[in-house]
Amino acid sequence: MKKQPTTVPFRGTAEQEQQLLSVIEKYRGIKGAMMPILQEAQGIYGYLPIEVLKIIAEKTDTPMEVIYGIVSFYSQFKLNYDGDITISICMGTACYVKGSADVLNEVASELGVEPGATSSDGRYSLDATRCIGACGLAPVMIINGTVYGRVKKEEVAGILAKYKE
Amino acid sequence: MENIKKVKVKVNGREIEVPENYTVLEAARAANVNIPTLCYLKDINEIGACRICLTEVTGARGMVAACVYPVADGMEIKTNTEKVRNARKLNLELVLSNHDMRCLSCSRSTTCELQTLCNEYGVQAGTFLNPNAKEEPHPIDDSSVSIIRDNNKCILCRRCVAACATLQDIGVIGPNDRGYDTHIGSAYEMKLADTACVNCGQCIVYCPTAALYERDDTQKVFDAISDPTKHVAICCAPSVRATLGESFGMAPGTDVEGKMVSAIRSLGFDAVYNMNLTADMTIVEEATELIDRIQNGGKLPMITSCSPGWIKYCEHYFPEFTENLSSCKSPQQMFGAIYKTYWAEKNNIDPKDIFFVSVIPCTAKKFEVGREDQSASGYPDVDVAITTRELASMITKTGIDFVNLEDEEFDTPFAMATGAAEIFGATGGVMEAALRTAAELILGGKFEKTDFEEVRGTTGIKHAIYKVGDLDVKVAVCSGTANAKKLLRAIEAGEDDSVFIEIMACPGGCVNGGGQPYQPAVVRNNVNLAAVRASVLYSADSDNELRKSHENPALKLIYDEYLGEFGSEKAHHILHTSYVKRGVYQNIK
């Protein structure tokens, strides 16, 4: 699935930037260091927005597009900060045939968040995940670690209501 | 080269000897067998991605990608089997499965490498129905004034990425996302106009399809020609005459100046001029500026400013060097400026009624015409810049039988030009032209040398030292932004003390510009196009009686009647410009 760039304003601190700079310094001159730099950068910021890639691009003398190519390729890298409430919906085969795509669309329209994105107020993030191994409960939705099984499209609004305030 | 071992291979049963570092593709070529390729570009894109070059060889389990598979002694290479033909056809059909296949209205129809191969292999459109056919088409990125991207035509060969990132060392485009979603774009899906793209257009000339093309400005020109209130003039850049014939099936390296003038006149322009005149003007202004900087402690090295791709590159990537740039406008802009001031006054025409067109080998010129500080008359110096390819399309649309045209001459008074101007279109040409003039201006008399062989040729970076009187003039010439980066880094590190530098954005100079006629990869991989095309310019130079810009009588007349001295205040007002420090990620806070 295509990754969605964030719509949440950047909230990086000077302290985080200092940490990032020392990470880049640590890997200076080491070939193939972009992956660990990105991993550690994501560890510092929680995601990889354009402001972070700008620093990495400038300090490693690498075109930003080259780095973005890596970030958008690997599913481990995130373009969005996790919202306060993270919602994951399983797209494994069992969940999918039981209608998890409908559930996903329902959540997306209910919250106004694209799958793979975080709402612009930073409150909700929505993800379509691979099989989580709970096929007996298909379709499965997880909100902040709480598992909801056999979710019907019609029940989505009711479940989400608990998290809205 | 002589110590590279040779190995024996068989190509379709015929034995030949080839160097052991050859690929299967090269070995086949040596045996006069053409293996088709789509993604392969010698040296810059050897990634074996498109699988069109699949070939049977002994010792390999399946078929191999000939473009990257090395030969071995005793290897048998087979391209003549049913298995090979079927595999290539299948792969073409798979490429087509998510291609928009609108060949009828496509600007690359007949020059498209994909279309050519599909014809050759008898591919049926629609063999594999696209399961996602209901998906939205890719949006077309037409944000840039120079380069347009249509990913619906993209086959993900990555040749544009190689041109941008490897050849030019810029890298504003690359593959984003993964699997079926993979597409070529910029970081965070930025529009091309928002990136530090320099508009050189090398991505366009390397694209096998129409996924990249220049903004088509030909309609604006046709409209102006149809408008009776407009005086429509055009000037032709030095290198267009060396390449335009290629668009009409003529061999690279054919000089078509006379046919070009004739064809343009037939299009209905009111006047057809030779941009070489203002190439000469650029030289006298630039040489005067150089001498002034040397004698009065100005910023050195001074770097030429004719290539708008280079100018934008400098502004983005080396903004601290913008003060080193000559303040001279490019020949294109000088022509428009002098035309809308001097010529307009002399002929009593309001510059607002002049529509001035330039035909150039360059996509970056489309950006240059809209720059600030390029409106000497109060109106833009140049209204529209069209590429060699766009001119060819106008000629075709008008039904002009280009190949059989009689030669005609440029219009006066701007026809006269020197050999120095002819060579502007090749890397080293501006330097050589400037040296011919600068040397004589410094000495105040004749300089013994006219041919500066050391700065000729398509080598990426060239150095030379010339003794002018008691002055040692150290010069450097470089083409391609990757080489510009190396040279500027060397200057920053204090390892290069050249005083005068010529930089052109495109490798080999304008003859290899982003607006030049398409040549398929098989030609680009095997012919030094820049050198073949430049040979036209160098023979025009040596055939010209006038070799030095400052001896151009038409130029002298303009200075006598209007501008005064070389480098006068009036000349500065009309013929010089200023630059912007842009930075690379200026739009990101």
**Contact state of A2 with B181 under an 8 Å Cβ cutoff:** yes
Domain contains A78 = no
- The verdict on A92 and A129 lying in the same domain is yes
Identify which has the larger pLDDT, A5 or B28: B28
Domain contains A7 = no
- The verdict on A94 and A121 lying in the same domain is yes
End-to-end CA distance of chain A: 30
Closest residue of A to B169, CA-based?
Answer: A63
- The verdict on A157 and A91 lying in the same domain is yes
The pLDDT of residue A120? 84
Q: Which of B66, B108, B104 is nearest to B87 (CA)?
A: B66
The pLDDT of residue B1? 53
- The verdict on A42 and A89 lying in the same domain is no
Domain contains A31 = yes
**Contact state of B176 with A72 under an 8 Å Cβ cutoff:** yes
- The verdict on A48 and A103 lying in the same domain is no
β-pairing, B271-274 vs B231-236, is parallel
Could you tell me the pLDDT band of residue A1, with boundaries at 50, 70 and 90? low
Residues A37, A39, A40: CA angle, nearest 5 degrees: 65
Contact B88, B52 (CB under 8 A): yes
Domain contains A54 = yes
Distance CA B46, CA B548 (A): 44
What are B161-206's pLDDT values in tens digits? 999 999 999 999 999 999 989 999 999 999 999 999 999 999 999 9
User: What is the helix (H) or strand (E) element at residue B286, kind and residue range?
Assistant: helix B276-295
- The verdict on A118 and A60 lying in the same domain is no
Whole-Å CA distances, A106 to A82, A149, B162: 20, 16, 42
- Can you list the alpha helix ranges (DSSP code H) found in chain A? 14-26, 34-45, 50-60, 64-73, 93-97, 100-111, 156-161
Backbone angles phi, psi at A10, to 5 degrees: -70, 135
Distance CA A10, CA A40 (A): 18
What size, in residues, is chain A?
Answer: 165
For residue B588, give the nearest of A50, A69, A79 by CB distance.
A50
Q: Which residues are within 8 A (CB) of B38 and not within 5 positions of it... i.e. 6 or more apart?
A: B50, B52, B95, B113, B114, B117, B155, B157, B208, B521
Q: Which of B190, B508, B476, B500 is nearest to B362 (CA)?
A: B508
Cβ neighbours of B186 in A, within 8 Å: 65, 68
Question: Hey, what are B474's tokens?
Answer: 């150290």
β-pairing, B174-176 vs B147-149, is unpaired
What are B198-240's pLDDT values in tens digits? 999 999 999 999 999 999 999 999 999 999 999 999 999 999 9
For residue B171, give the nearest of A63, A72, A79 by CB distance.
A63
Whole-Å CA distances, B466 to B283, B433, B444, B496, B541: 18, 14, 16, 16, 21
- The verdict on A94 and A149 lying in the same domain is yes
Domain contains A155 = yes
What is the identity of the amino acid at B96? L
For residue A65, give the nearest of B174, B177, B181 by CB distance.
B174
**Contact state of B172 with A63 under an 8 Å Cβ cutoff:** yes
What size, in residues, is chain B?
Answer: 589
Cβ neighbours of B179 in A, within 8 Å: none
Domain contains A1 = no
Mean pLDDT within A99-104: 95
Contact B548, B436 (CB under 8 A): yes
Distance CA B539, CA A77 (A): 57
- The verdict on A98 and A147 lying in the same domain is yes
SS3 call for B539: helix
**Contact state of B181 with A69 under an 8 Å Cβ cutoff:** no
Distance CA B291, CA B14 (A): 63
- The verdict on A128 and A94 lying in the same domain is yes
Could you tell me the pLDDT band of residue A33, with boundaries at 50, 70 and 90? very high
If one counts the domains in chain A, the total is 2
| Domains, in order of start, for chain B | 6-80 (3.10.20.740), 130-213 (3.30.70.20), 218-575 (3.40.50.1780)
Distance CA B533, CA B543 (A): 16
Domain contains A80 = no
- The verdict on A101 and A154 lying in the same domain is yes
Question: Hey, what are B250's tokens?
Answer: 């003529």
Could you tell me the pLDDT band of residue B131, with boundaries at 50, 70 and 90? low
Q: Range of A146's domain? A: 85-161
What are B55-75's pLDDT values in tens digits? 999 988 899 999 999 999 999
- The verdict on A44 and A90 lying in the same domain is no
Backbone angles phi, psi at B178, to 5 degrees: -145, 155
> Would the pLDDT of B496 be above 80?
yes
- Can you list the alpha helix ranges (DSSP code H) found in B527-579? 529-543, 553-558, 569-575
What is the identity of the amino acid at B123? V
Domain contains A41 = yes
Cβ neighbours of B178 in A, within 8 Å: 72-74
Query: Which residue bears the tokens 């096998």?
Result: B208
DSSP B189-227: G--GGGTT-----HHHHH-SSSSEEE---HHHHHHHHH-
Question: What CATH number corresponds to the domain at position A91?
Answer: 3.40.30.10
Query: Which residue bears the tokens 């080269």?
Result: B1
What is the identity of the amino acid at B358? S
**pTM of the predicted model over 0.80:** yes
Backbone angles phi, psi at A35, to 5 degrees: -60, -55
Q: What residues are paired with B358 via a beta bridge?
A: B235, B385
Could you tell me the pLDDT band of residue B400, with boundaries at 50, 70 and 90? very high
Interface mutation vs chain A, best among B173, B180, B488, B585, most A CBs within 10 Å = B585
Identify which has the larger pLDDT, B399 or B4: B399
β-pairing, B183-185 vs B64-65, is unpaired
DSSP B443-454: HTS--S----GG
- The verdict on A105 and A49 lying in the same domain is no
The pLDDT of residue B37? 96
Closest residue of B to A68, CA-based?
Answer: B187
Q: Which of B424, B99, B123 is nearest to B276 (CA)?
A: B424
The pLDDT of residue B374? 95
Query: Which residue bears the tokens 């973005």?
Result: A68
**Contact state of B589 with A51 under an 8 Å Cβ cutoff:** yes
Cβ neighbours of A69 in B, within 8 Å: 174-176
Backbone angles phi, psi at B268, to 5 degrees: 105, 15
> Would the pLDDT of B101 be above 90?
no
pLDDT, chain B, mean: 94
Instruction: Return the exposure string of B169-194: e unless at least 16 CB atoms fall within 10 Å of the residue's CB, then b.
Output: bbbbbbbbbeeeebbbbbbbbbebbb
